[in-house]
Chain A
Amino acid sequence: MYTHTLTELARALKARKISSEELTCTYLARIERFNPELNAFVTVLREPTLAEARAADARLAKGDAGALAGVPIAHKDIFCTAGVKTSCGSKMLDNFVAPYDAHIVTRLKQAGSVLLGKTNMDEFAMGSSNETSYYGPVKNPWDRTRVPGGSSGGSAAAVAARLAPAATGTDTGGSIRQPAALTGLTGIKPTYGRVSRYGMIAFASSLDQAGVITYTAEDAALLLNVIAGFDARDSTSMDRPVPDYTATLQQPLKGLRIGVPAEFFDAGLDAGVGQAVQAALSIYKKLGARVQEISLPNFSLSVPTYYVVAPAEASSNLSRFDGVRYGHRCESPVDLMDLYTRSRGEGFGAEVKRRIMTGTYVLSAGYYDAYYLKAQKTRALIRRDFLEAFRSVDLIMGPTTPTPAFKLGEKTEDPVTMYLNDIYANGVNLAGLPGLSVPMGFVDGLPVGLQIIGNYFDEARMLAAAHQYQRETDWHRHIPKGFE
């Protein structure tokens, strides 16, 4: 059962060929067996999950079930789940039980899905390897000495190891696309504003976007149908209609104009990854698409810009974790300053502290203009480059990451090397565009991803392109050894 896609499982449940209870039990058993080694889940619910599954079966029997009735899924531990610990991968929130459900948790619940548990992640979503988690690193199912990517590393590892048929994620600078690429999965970060951020613990508010990690583009479309849409509780969510993303997956690609940024093929790109991109593009040509080289002249500014904007917002967003109302509080504080400094000093890990300090610095009097304001200007340039490109192409394609998954511990000593792993991803967030990663083959036995970038709210076209590529290839059907 666990080798099927989410779409297939939803169909089988609807047809009552399988029950949600047996399906859920299968996944729970796999979690029990594999999670101790992978560390993909930080919270597994078991009894409440089984109760949800039985309730879903009852609704399915009555025939009044939602699109995802009885389908088990996992949530990244950044999404608030009522009555369930929501840690955001941090010691700071190790004791935090959310009193409410995030918007997408509510939506997925209403569609009938069953919650298996909460997945591991880089602390406060700050990381590209899942090594900054308070709960320890997640292992990549394809090679347990390697990272699964981050920050949605737990979600990616869980889906890749078939411990869940799909999982939610968040992407501030590549945190869905990069782990999806490194674990051989499909991951989509929708347009900024397409999915409500309500209940998603903020890292960098102007960049954060919720999305999903799945086996196929078809699965992603099914889930996006459920989570996308306006929410009055998020002022940045967009009030515009949500199309049925599953309905347009077969839209012919003939005449599709694909732009490939010359800047993506720089010295930092692994040769094998570059070849895999070319191979993928030849399939698109076969499908009738026209591939042309484009330029994103300010591409080199995206990582530096990102590492000013994201830490600036994070430094402010994380101020609420002060030990006063919830979360970690130090033992016997002697005064207010002691309460603040020790609670935050003990509660946050090194990478989070690094970003709070960077962010505080770039917003400080005397440095604001040189850093934060300048970054807003370069951000506008990066956005303009993309919009310029979209005047002549429909989609932009390139590598999701410069290399396949790297070794655990390989980049932890050098943050800049770590940051460069998201070099192709950061700009998409800065521009607020939708981005998607699909498996496009293997380099040295490790999966690599093709990134598809769309224009604003053009998710349907991206999903159609990804879906038809997946009909021509079987990279997304590969299962890591030991998890078949």
Chain B
Amino acid sequence: MEWETVIGLEIHTQLLTRSKIFSGAATAFGAPPNTQACLVDLGYPGVLPVLNQEAVRMAVKFGLAIGATIAPRSVFARKNYFYPDLPKGYQISQYELPVVSRGSVEIELEDGASKRIGITRAHLEEDAGKSLHEGFAGVSGIDLNRAGTPLLEIVSEPDLRSAREAVTYMKKIHTLVRYLGICDGNMQEGSFRCDANVSLRRKGEVKFGTRAELKNINSFHFVEKAINYEIGRQAELLESGGKVVQETRLYDSKKNETRSMRNKEEANDYRYFPDPDLLPLEIAPQLIEAVRNTLPELPDAKRQRFAERYGLSGYDAGLLTASRELADYYEAVVEAVGGEPKACANWVMGELAAALNRDNQDITASPVSAAALAGLIKRVLDNTVSGKLAKEVFEAMWAGEGDADAVIAKRGLTQITDSSAIEKVIEEVMVANAEQLAAYRAGKDKLFAFFVGQVMKASKGKANPQQVNELLLKKLKG
């Protein structure tokens, strides 16, 4: 049987407001437990929520970026359930009337084709606190620092057809929210996390199959693995004549499996109703226009501009615009070099990206600044240093040995471009390798590379490779 996978994602993004969505307490991550929870966050008797307008502006920003409808009037509702990390016994969320609805993003598939993914809605809500089950003997701890942190929950249409597509879509949203400056995208700290609704249907079938909801998956890697596991589980179930039950399943990354948390019958009846403590959220057209004016160049537009202006492939342009900071870095390098966008792209995506990745560094904290990298690229372009040795210079710069010129001077890595000096080295090599020389002259052309290697070695890599090639060709012929 051939099955088609249907996936919809619910992505929770913590908004980068300084204070919480309904109180004045700070939202910074990592403070000692319960030090960033005021009486409102603690759900004390008599306190009331007051909406943080900055969170509203951020939601509007997101809505505009995905071409969505911004509701002129949306409503906060209470989602009622009991849990110790939910101090009021209800979460303030948006239910029937969300602030953002009907938007979309384009994702690029593996075959290069583009696919439109619909976004049903994005709504504002408050995060819950955290229950801590480890490190306490016989009891659980509650940390309410996170309680009341603003979340924008972004709900996609069931438009995704594979785990790969789901990851691509999730990355797209991840890039977008960071571009917009509304979420730091930090998945370890839980600023960006997702639930996935997964179902299977027979190829060609129009009706959706029964779905399972996979909860709280906090890395791109796990999203792919969790969905693929779930696809396998459901396919096996259906193949053997079984039925998928509608339920919530938790992904265990250690065991790489999903397991049932609660089924439909055990599901909470959340008894949603409009929160009488908050008036409907009204958004004036003026606010929407004001927010529109603050929109940065968005990833898709930037990518297109990079491809056109810098003559980059779509793929390279995509990599360089994966984050606003990386794109800014790249543009700063190009500007400082004064052109040569392709060479700059190669350096940024090559040595720099590798070093960042190796040392797990963010581009904003790169030990080699855009200006410093541009200095090095210029020395390669003006033949001061060979491309090969430039990599050594880069590593030295990365290690803090100074700028390109200083490293080249200190280490004596200046390229040899004096023809007579190179010829002298070639002659020495020819003398030292008379046997190979004879073989070459007898027609063993492959030995040319051997001579190039010997010359470079003798010159400690400093000889200009192009000149070495030209002169060797001439000399070896005799």
Chain A 228-285 interface residues, beta-carbon cutoff 8 Å to B: 232-236
Interface centre among A197, A235, A321 (most CB of B within 10 A): A235
Please determine whether A235 and B45 come into contact, CB atoms closer than 8 angstroms.
Answer: no
Chain B residues near A79 (CB-CB < 8 A):
46
Known: A235-B51, A312-B273, A320-B89. A199 touches B46 (CB 8 A): yes
Please determine whether B276 and A205 come into contact, CB atoms closer than 8 angstroms.
Answer: yes
Question: Is residue A365 contacting chain B, with contact meaning CB distance below 8 A?
Answer: yes
Q: How far is the CA of A300 from the CA of B276 in the complex (A)?
A: 24
Question: Is residue A19 contacting chain B, with contact meaning CB distance below 8 A?
Answer: no
Please determine whether A363 and B273 come into contact, CB atoms closer than 8 angstroms.
Answer: yes
Question: Is residue A43 contacting chain B, with contact meaning CB distance below 8 A?
Answer: no
Please determine whether A198 and B89 come into contact, CB atoms closer than 8 angstroms.
Answer: no
Q: How far, in Å, is A96 (CB) from chain B's closest CB?
A: 7
Stretch of B80-88, B225-233, B456-464 lying at the A interface = B80-88
Question: Is residue B271 contacting chain A, with contact meaning CB distance below 8 A?
Answer: yes
Stretch of A98-106, A114-122, A138-146, A474-482 lying at the B interface = A98-106
Q: How far is the CA of A401 from the CA of B278 in the complex (A)?
A: 32
Q: Which of B48, B88, B276, B277 contacts A320 (CB 8 A)?
A: B88
The tally of CB-CB contacts under 8 A between chains A and B is: 96
Known: A197-B48, A325-B87. A316 touches B39 (CB 8 A): no
Q: How far is the CA of A316 from the CA of B272 in the complex (A)?
A: 10
Please determine whether B271 and A320 come into contact, CB atoms closer than 8 angstroms.
Answer: no
Question: Is residue A372 contacting chain B, with contact meaning CB distance below 8 A?
Answer: yes
Question: Is residue B90 contacting chain A, with contact meaning CB distance below 8 A?
Answer: yes
Please determine whether B46 and A363 come into contact, CB atoms closer than 8 angstroms.
Answer: no
Q: How far, in Å, is B273 (CB) from chain A's closest CB?
A: 6
Q: Which of A93, A232, A319, A372 contacts B273 (CB 8 A)?
A: A372
Please determine whether A232 and B277 come into contact, CB atoms closer than 8 angstroms.
Answer: no
Please determine whether A316 and B45 come into contact, CB atoms closer than 8 angstroms.
Answer: no
In the complex, residue of chain A having the shortest beta-carbon distance to the beta carbon of B279? A235
Question: Is residue B142 contacting chain A, with contact meaning CB distance below 8 A?
Answer: yes
Please determine whether B50 and A235 come into contact, CB atoms closer than 8 angstroms.
Answer: yes
Please determine whether A88 and B45 come into contact, CB atoms closer than 8 angstroms.
Answer: yes
B-contact 0/1 string along A362-376, CB 8 Å cutoff? 011100100010000
Q: Which of A199, A206, A324, A360 contacts B84 (CB 8 A)?
A: A324
Chain B residues near A365 (CB-CB < 8 A):
269, 271
Please determine whether B46 and A320 come into contact, CB atoms closer than 8 angstroms.
Answer: no
Question: Is residue B190 contacting chain A, with contact meaning CB distance below 8 A?
Answer: no
Question: Is residue A34 contacting chain B, with contact meaning CB distance below 8 A?
Answer: no
Please determine whether A316 and B82 come into contact, CB atoms closer than 8 angstroms.
Answer: no
Q: Which of A80, A236, A325, A360 contacts B277 (CB 8 A)?
A: A236
Please determine whether B49 and A235 come into contact, CB atoms closer than 8 angstroms.
Answer: yes
Known: A201-B45, A363-B80. A319 touches B276 (CB 8 A): no
Chain B 69-114 interface residues, beta-carbon cutoff 8 Å to A: 78, 80, 82, 84, 87-90
Question: Is residue A340 contacting chain B, with contact meaning CB distance below 8 A?
Answer: yes
Q: How far is the CA of A426 from the CA of B50 in the complex (A)?
A: 28
Q: How far is the CA of A444 from the CA of B50 in the complex (A)?
A: 49
Q: How far is the CA of A360 from the CA of B78 in the complex (A)?
A: 13
Q: For chain B, which range describes its interface: under 10, 10 to 19, 20 to 34, or 35 or more residues?
A: 20 to 34
A-contact 0/1 string along B275-314, CB 8 Å cutoff? 0111100000000000000000000000000000000000
Chain B residues near A340 (CB-CB < 8 A):
82
Please determine whether A98 and B45 come into contact, CB atoms closer than 8 angstroms.
Answer: yes
Question: Is residue B44 contacting chain A, with contact meaning CB distance below 8 A?
Answer: yes
Chain A residues near B44 (CB-CB < 8 A):
99-100, 320, 325-326
Question: Is residue A200 contacting chain B, with contact meaning CB distance below 8 A?
Answer: yes
Q: How far is the CA of A79 from the CA of B46 in the complex (A)?
A: 8
Question: Is residue B31 contacting chain A, with contact meaning CB distance below 8 A?
Answer: no
Q: How far, in Å, is A62 (CB) from chain B's closest CB?
A: 33
Interface centre among A206, A233, A316, A321 (most CB of B within 10 A): A316
Please determine whether A201 and B46 come into contact, CB atoms closer than 8 angstroms.
Answer: yes
Please determine whether A322 and B48 come into contact, CB atoms closer than 8 angstroms.
Answer: no
In the complex, residue of chain B having the shortest beta-carbon distance to the beta carbon of A360? B271
Q: Which of B48, B89, B279 contacts A316 (CB 8 A)?
A: B89
Chain A residues near B49 (CB-CB < 8 A):
235
Q: How far is the CA of A80 from the CA of B87 in the complex (A)?
A: 18
Known: A316-B78, A320-B87. A198 touches B48 (CB 8 A): yes
Q: How far is the CA of A205 from the CA of B49 in the complex (A)?
A: 12
Known: A313-B276, A316-B78, A322-B82. A198 touches B47 (CB 8 A): yes
Q: How far is the CA of A340 from the CA of B50 in the complex (A)?
A: 28
Chain A residues near B87 (CB-CB < 8 A):
320, 324-325
Chain B residues near A205 (CB-CB < 8 A):
276-277
Please determine whether A96 and B50 come into contact, CB atoms closer than 8 angstroms.
Answer: no
Chain B 112-154 interface residues, beta-carbon cutoff 8 Å to A: 142
Chain A residues near B278 (CB-CB < 8 A):
235-236
Please determine whether A325 and B42 come into contact, CB atoms closer than 8 angstroms.
Answer: yes
Question: Is residue A336 contacting chain B, with contact meaning CB distance below 8 A?
Answer: yes
Q: How far is the CA of A299 from the CA of B89 in the complex (A)?
A: 34
In the complex, residue of chain B having the shortest beta-carbon distance to the beta carbon of A337? B82
Please determine whether A86 and B45 come into contact, CB atoms closer than 8 angstroms.
Answer: yes
Known: A100-B39, A205-B276, A235-B51. A319 touches B89 (CB 8 A): yes
Please determine whether B82 and A319 come into contact, CB atoms closer than 8 angstroms.
Answer: yes
Question: Is residue B43 contacting chain A, with contact meaning CB distance below 8 A?
Answer: yes
Q: How far, in Å, is A425 (CB) from chain B's closest CB?
A: 19
In the complex, residue of chain B having the shortest beta-carbon distance to the beta carbon of A205? B276
Interface centre among B47, B87, B269 (most CB of A within 10 A): B47
Question: Is residue A147 contacting chain B, with contact meaning CB distance below 8 A?
Answer: no
Question: Is residue A202 contacting chain B, with contact meaning CB distance below 8 A?
Answer: yes
Chain B residues near A316 (CB-CB < 8 A):
78, 80, 89-90, 271, 273
Q: How far, in Å, is A192 (CB) from chain B's closest CB?
A: 10
B-contact 0/1 string along A303-338, CB 8 Å cutoff? 000000000110110111110111000000000100
Q: How far, in Å, is A39 (CB) from chain B's closest CB?
A: 23
Chain B residues near A235 (CB-CB < 8 A):
48-51, 277-279
B-contact 0/1 string along A174-208, CB 8 Å cutoff? 00000000000000000000000111111011100
Please determine whether B276 and A206 come into contact, CB atoms closer than 8 angstroms.
Answer: yes
Q: Which of B50, B276, B279 contacts A233 (CB 8 A)?
A: B50
Q: How far, in Å, is A237 (CB) from chain B's closest CB?
A: 9
Q: Which of A96, A232, A233 contacts B45 (CB 8 A)?
A: A96
Q: How far, in Å, is A480 (CB) from chain B's closest CB?
A: 33
Please determine whether B48 and A233 come into contact, CB atoms closer than 8 angstroms.
Answer: yes
Please determine whether A200 and B46 come into contact, CB atoms closer than 8 angstroms.
Answer: yes
Known: A100-B39, A235-B279, A340-B82. A202 touches B269 (CB 8 A): no
Please determine whether A364 and B50 come into contact, CB atoms closer than 8 angstroms.
Answer: no
Chain A 377-406 interface residues, beta-carbon cutoff 8 Å to B: none
Q: Which of A206, A313, A320, A368 contacts B43 (CB 8 A)?
A: A320
Please determine whether A236 and B271 come into contact, CB atoms closer than 8 angstroms.
Answer: no
Chain B residues near A197 (CB-CB < 8 A):
48
Q: Which of B78, B89, B271, B272 contacts A322 (CB 8 A)?
A: B89
In the complex, residue of chain A having the shortest beta-carbon distance to the beta carbon of B89? A319
Q: How far is the CA of A201 from the CA of B45 in the complex (A)?
A: 5
Q: Name the 10 nearest CB pairs between A and B, nearest first.
A: A319-B89, A206-B276, A363-B271, A205-B276, A320-B43, A199-B46, A201-B45, A80-B46, A320-B88, A365-B269
Known: A100-B44, A320-B88. 11 other contacts (CB 8 A): A99-B44, A102-B46, A198-B47, A232-B50, A235-B277, A236-B276, A236-B279, A313-B276, A320-B44, A326-B44, A365-B271
A/B interface sample: 12 pairs, CB < 8 A:
A88-B45, A98-B46, A100-B39, A198-B46, A204-B276, A235-B51, A235-B279, A315-B80, A319-B80, A340-B82, A364-B269, A368-B271
